[in-house]
Structure 1
Amino acid sequence: MNKIVKGIGVTAIAAVMAGVSFAAHEWYADKPFLFRAYLDRPLIKIAMDQPEMLTSLGVLESVGITGHNAYLDNDSPEQGDKLFAQMASLRDGLSQYDNDSLSESELLSKQVAQYLLDLMSQAEPYRYHTYPVNQLFGIQNGYPTFMQAQHRLQTQEDVEHYLARLDAVQLKFAQTLEGLKLREQKGIIPPRFMIDRVLTEMTEFVAQPIETNILYTNLEQKAAEIEGVSSQQSQAWLADAKSRIQDSVHPAYQSLIDYFTQLAPKAGNDVGYWHLPDGDKAYELALKLFTTTDYSAEQLHQLGLSEVERLQAQMLSIITQQGYSVDAGFETAMAELAADPKHYYPDNDEGRAQILADYQRILDEIDAGLDPVFNVRPQASMEVQRIPEFKEKTSPGAYYQQPSLDGTRPGRFFANLYDIKATPRYSMRTLAYHEGIPGHHFQIAIAMELEGLPFMRRMAPFTAYIEGWALYAEQVAWEAGFQDQPLDNLGRLQAELFRAVRLVVDTGLHAKRWSREQAIDYMAANTGMAKSDVVAEVERYIVMPGQATAYKVGMLKILELRQKAQQALGDKFELTAFHDAVLKNGALPLDILEQVIDDYIAKVQAS
């Protein structure tokens, strides 16, 4: 930590990050006077040990603190031990603060902290039941993505830090490799397809000419835009970068290539968590972690089947009205719709550029028209970008990246343009609403901007709430009139159906022992999605057990709570006020969200 902050007082850094004054007592005391300081302090300490997180948050640069940008996170197993110990200590100390001594907001913070820390305690025995290097995410694609999207290159010092991070990658890869070997010893070996995918990805990454590598081209593009830098200086930086990519980055990748090459013969074709040691227990915990409920795999599976039936019936009605035949069933009807070329952009650079422009137009349009349904709005702006081409083949259809805390980096909606058939025009609105406005960008940026709340509340990782809100936001956009064309509404229903199918497939894979091929066949038959998307999605559920179940569970809970508020309040119900109650508390476990809505109902009734 001392290297990273370069001698700047830790209480000063804490004050910058928390936005409050941190006296020495609040930093070092066993029991700080302020409950918020008690919650913020360990998370700030963790952040100060994670320079990549500091870069992503972007709060220290505004006061001239930049040294952390020359380092990468410590990914060693020992660092993981330290993190669990810190969280256990934080959990044990919550009892120092009596509920009666806390304000309403502080009490909610205590409940959220208790919930999250209890989950972490339960998860510790299964911390190695993960695949940290896989075809979807991991250091092999996360590192270059981080360098391209989050490491800023605005000054000469930023460039020096960038170059330092090219060297630092060898240690980070070595630490990741140490964790992979520990998993192998415990019998946590990825399925064979996953190993083949990452080997292809990494081999292609190091085989390309350095001058076309994203780590080189990113510096080439951005260094040329730095004010006052000569072409000679830019060329010197590029020569230095090329040397470091060759001498540090490529050997780091080769170390993982060598490891997975020798691991491949030990891997099999069973893909569900059930085949791992204690995999059934790990999956049960994963469902609890991602849904913040006690739903069993069987309950979620049956919920998914019933939702699939309901949504397909609505979609078939629209398809019939649009003149497509449904006589041969849902899969054939969706295939006929998907085969119609009028629904697609040209399969060239111009077509892909137009997709990005149209996404931005859709977002600008809805952003300008949401006043009737939202009071609270994020201050952070957002933009649309293409998923970097080097990783889009195995990436999901889209994802969102949060803005920096200081507002210098906007929220970003990344769209996958690898397969043009995966972006039919009628699906674009609902995807933009989910990833951008009023979905992830609204919820995540608003949470980050909440004043007076501890970091844990502003950055809480409760997937059922976060993804449930984004799916709910798709419906809100439709209700507000932004999907007035029947096929746009079909796209919305197909997106919701996609999440219902996820309930079936995720539990099928990990609890009912479905094969990868069985899951692909079911999803292709019941969604009408492009085959490339189906394969990428099923393989995502294999590497992230339980995560896919969060979306529908969260959406259905928010809709249930909205109906509850409407019935209780009658004429006093205002949708804008309901959305305030949901959004102004950060992400929450679903039972705590219900408690918040119950309090909102009671206050309106008493007014």
Structure 2
Amino acid sequence: MPHRSTFFAALALTLVSSTAPVAVMAQDSTPAQSEVPSSAADLQLKALYEAEWPWRMKEMARLPETPDNSRGGPSDHLPSVTPESQQRRHDYWAGLIEKIDAIPPGQLSHEEQINADVFRTWLWQQVSDIEYKTYEAPLNSDTFFWAGINPRTPYSGADDYTLYLGRMRDIPRFFAENIANMRRGLARGYTVPKVSLQGRDETIVPFTRPGKDNPFYKAFAEMPDNIAPERREALQAEALKTIDNTIVPAYTKLLAFMREEYIPGARDTIDAYSLPDGKAFYQDQIRHYTTLDLTPAEIHAIGLKEVARIDADMKQTIRDAGFDGSFSEFLEFLRTDPQFYAETPKELLSLSAYVAKKMDGRLKDTFNRLPRYRFTILPVPDEIAPIYTSGRGGLDSCLMNTYDLPQRPLYAIPALTLHECNPGHSFQAAYALEAPDRPDFRKSTYFSGYGEGWGLYCEWLGSKMGIYKTPYEEFGRETFEMWRAARLVIDTGMHSMGWSRQQAVDYLTDHTALAPLDIKNEVDRYIAWPGQALAYKLGELTIRRLRSEAEEELGDDFDQRPFHDTLLTLGSVPLPTLEREMRRFIASEKARISEEKEQTTTSE
């Protein structure tokens, strides 16, 4: 799963939905739009998205892009999340959908057809979530509106710190609006399930500490040297004052609300179907995260088929490892033998860094174009590590969870690193960042089916690139693939077929080598975040199917480098758009190769 920061993931929850955004730019080798004559339909569509973008920036409290801040950034306040602001967004975005639908799609140029697909799909996601009032549950099991407002790394200039202080001072208002929304959710039975909230209140506690021990001060303790000492000292003094007088009281009030009101009042059910209009809600959440129109029953069947296939692969790998015992005995061996576990956080982080660097050596065989932007590998912050997933990648950093090392098997780190860091989410975001110029909204749109599908595809790609050096590492990859296939069964099982939480835990325990803590956290995540976990496997299956089509159509002339370049150049798009565009690429490559061969034959 990608991250830009935990806060901006949670911000999407509080605004309209529970998707975690990441900066993703689209690009391809077609001429820039300004070089192609625009039709009336093109101009109509452009007018809509060019007007929407600055409106969105204002609504979401974001600064526009500037020459010295090419990615834009957060402003000096946090967004409004009141029902009135949500309705304002709903009405504006719903009106845009109507206007897009009035434009004859056949009159759009090729590039604007893609823009229309992306823009309309994103708009529908926002409108749908507002209609279901998902902002009344602005958190899930590991993403919270109160976390990540403090940066993971220091800012580069004094002005950034001034903006940061402004956001810190706005936290009481922001929290009050979220708490009011959550009380409305409580009143109508729309809450995060109680079981997925256990222990999540502990993530608030570090922010109730005064002074320099508060996580908000960390960025001030590590300010860059280019800020003059007197300015640095003034900003640090203001930070300490704001922490004690604003941050600590706001988080203390939030902690009391969570412990005394929200968690005790949260629903005991775990399934989406038990929510208001739950059946329709779950179907729309499936569409939201996968961008596909599949029913829960269809997805469940796909999952069972994939589980059976991967199970056979895993058993073959056990034989390759020379293990003389049953599948369950092999899992017990992996979960208990000390050779598979790090003794220090540095050991785990070092292995991840080594795998990322090892993949660097194979990038030239995988892509023709490589991004210049670099990411770092960091541990998951202490305040969220106990309930956080194993890793999460994004443009600036790739997080590895070093909490409770006996629950973090080293044989899984290669696959995890490929998915989250390189060439997965961090690489993917950097590749997209350096794209040719395209509409601003395309630079910040993220569809889970596309992004998570690529991440899981990268795990599989590691087998072809020689990244996994032992049967245990290959089994780690397979257990991760099984984990994503099992999600299709578990998510649909719990939310639409009456599965219990324990059934889901047992299913993952029996079919994967995941550590018990990971299994617990993951199941609670699926409970709290209906549909999101479906995107990974369905997206990967789409990409692998398209690769198989390319290999079949192009035969010995297939080259994975332009295939991957085209896929990432396209940027984050709905899966149906990805299929259409990649098949267009296959047809173009086939015609190009045929023409080259014909010219060679003629010249001879």
User: Is TM > 0.5 for Structure 1 vs Structure 2?
Assistant: yes
Aligned to 2:447: 462
Aligned to 1:359: 352
Q: Using a 3 Å threshold, how does the CA distance of structure 1 residues 264 and 485 change in structure 2: closer, same or farther? A: closer
SS at match of 2:146: helix
Q: CA deviation at 1:142?
A: 3.0
Q: Using a 3 Å threshold, how does the CA distance of structure 1 residues 159 and 440 change in structure 2: closer, same or farther? A: closer
Q: Which has the higher contact order (CA 8 A, sep 6+)?
A: 2
Aligned to 1:5: none
Range that drifts further, 118-127 or 446-455: 118-127
Q: CA deviation at 1:444?
A: 2.5
Distance 2:73 2:503 in 1: 50
Deviations 1:397-454 (A, max 9, x none): 111222xxxxxxxx31111110212332221111111011111123232233322322
Give the aligned residue type for 1:352: P
Deviations 1:288-310 (A, max 9, x none): 11122222112222222222222
Q: CA deviation at 1:95?
A: 4.9
Residue-pair matches, total: 558
1:449–1:458 contact (8 Å) kept in structure 2: no
Deviations 1:235-255 (A, max 9, x none): 554443233222211222233
1:259 aligns with 2:257: yes
Q: Using a 3 Å threshold, how does the CA distance of structure 1 residues 129 and 278 change in structure 2: closer, same or farther? A: farther
Q: How does 1:75-474 map to 2 (within 5 A)?
A: 75-95=81-101, 97-99=103-105, 101-128=107-134, 131-144=137-150, 147-149=151-153, 153-202=155-204, 204-222=205-223, 225-230=225-230, 234=232, 236-260=234-258, 261-327=260-326, 330-346=327-343, 351-402=344-395, 411-474=396-459
Query: Which of 582, 585, 589 is residue 567 of structure 2 equivalent to?
Result: 582
Q: CA deviation at 1:523?
A: 1.5
1:270–1:515 contact (8 Å) kept in structure 2: no
Distance 1:36 1:251 in 2: 46
1:45 aligns with 2:55: yes
Q: CA deviation at 1:392?
A: 0.6
1:331–1:527 contact (8 Å) kept in structure 2: no
Aligned to 2:37: none
2:155–2:219 contact (8 Å) kept in structure 1: no
Range that drifts further, 206-215 or 174-183: 206-215
Q: How does 1:502-513 map to 2 (within 5 A)?
A: 502-513=487-498
SS at match of 1:62: coil
Aligned to 2:8: none
SS at match of 2:147: helix
SS at match of 1:70: coil
Q: Using a 3 Å threshold, how does the CA distance of structure 1 residues 139 and 112 change in structure 2: closer, same or farther? A: closer
Q: CA deviation at 1:98?
A: 4.3
Q: CA deviation at 1:528?
A: 1.6
Q: CA deviation at 1:135?
A: 3.7
1:520–1:534 contact (8 Å) kept in structure 2: yes
Q: CA deviation at 1:132?
A: 1.1
SS at match of 1:143: coil
Give the aligned residue type for 2:242: R
Distance 1:227 1:80 in 2: 39
Give the aligned residue type for 2:409: P
Aligned to 2:17: none
Deviations 1:109-153 (A, max 9, x none): 123323333444444421337631344111222323xx344xx53
Q: CA deviation at 1:31?
A: 9.5
Aligned to 2:36: none
1:130–1:543 contact (8 Å) kept in structure 2: no
2:196–2:525 contact (8 Å) kept in structure 1: no
Query: Which of 512, 531, 552 is residue 527 of structure 1 equivalent to?
Result: 512
Deviations 1:80-131 (A, max 9, x none): 2222222223222225654455321112212332333344444442133763
Identity %: 28
Q: CA deviation at 1:34?
A: 7.4
Q: CA deviation at 1:580?
A: 2.4
Give the aligned residue type for 2:319: T
Distance 2:490 2:70 in 1: 49
2:453–2:541 contact (8 Å) kept in structure 1: yes
Q: Using a 3 Å threshold, how does the CA distance of structure 1 residues 310 and 240 change in structure 2: closer, same or farther? A: same
Q: CA deviation at 1:194?
A: 3.7
Q: Using a 3 Å threshold, how does the CA distance of structure 1 residues 98 and 276 change in structure 2: closer, same or farther? A: closer
Q: Using a 3 Å threshold, how does the CA distance of structure 1 residues 119 and 153 change in structure 2: closer, same or farther? A: closer
Q: Using a 3 Å threshold, how does the CA distance of structure 1 residues 322 and 246 change in structure 2: closer, same or farther? A: same
Aligned to 1:558: 543
Q: Using a 3 Å threshold, how does the CA distance of structure 1 residues 199 and 118 change in structure 2: closer, same or farther? A: closer
Range that drifts further, 447-456 or 484-493: 447-456
Give the aligned residue type for 1:445: A
Range that drifts further, 511-520 or 60-69: 60-69
Distance 1:213 1:417 in 2: 21
Distance 2:449 2:73 in 1: 36
Give the aligned residue type for 1:301: H
Distance 1:309 1:555 in 2: 17
Q: CA deviation at 1:554?
A: 0.7
Aligned to 2:521: 536
Q: Using a 3 Å threshold, how does the CA distance of structure 1 residues 277 and 172 change in structure 2: closer, same or farther? A: same
Aligned to 1:25: none
1:360–1:384 contact (8 Å) kept in structure 2: yes
Q: Using a 3 Å threshold, how does the CA distance of structure 1 residues 503 and 360 change in structure 2: closer, same or farther? A: same
1:74 aligns with 2:76: no
Aligned to 1:4: none
